[in-house]
Amino acid sequence: MAQGAYDAALSYSQSRKQFGQSISEFQLIQKKLVDMAVSLDAARFLTYRAAWLLDRGRRVTKESAMAKLFASEAAVQIANEALQIHGGYGFIKDYPVEKFYRDIKLCTIGEGTSEIQTLVIARQLLSPQDQLTVACR
């Protein structure tokens, strides 16, 4: 969903004209797009890291919670920025960003809220077993 919201914002910013140029040429819009792209990549890499460790038989409680927390929070931010880029059109059902904005919040609620993911990560970071693992790295 975050990728879809980003793609919609990128496409819209390139096609929407304001003051004789596409809004993608405005620095503020470029900054929003860059931040969205960076968050998407970071979420992907956290997820890939957890999967890579799982494939090697490692316990990934902390890593998967980190990926879920970051990806879901990033998705909400990306959807919000996509809506900002669309302006008033972002609320019209003719544009896909409206649905992304509505649906994406579920990511921070479903299958473990962001608060629960935070608690899981904290417990893992503070557990003697995790501290031993960190010391051995």
How many domains does one find in the chain? 1
Catalytic residue among 25, 98, 111, 115: 111
Q: What is the C-alpha separation between 89 and 58, in angstroms, rounded?
A: 46
Per-residue pLDDT of the chain (137 residues; tens, 9 = 90+): 999 999 999 999 999 999 999 999 999 999 999 999 999 999 999 999 999 999 999 999 999 999 999 999 999 999 999 999 999 888 888 888 988 988 888 878 877 788 999 999 999 999 877 655 554 44
CATH classification of the domain holding 132:
1.20.140.10
| Residue 3 contacts residue 40 (beta carbons within 8 Å) | yes
81 labelled catalytic: no
Domain carrying residue 38: 2-136
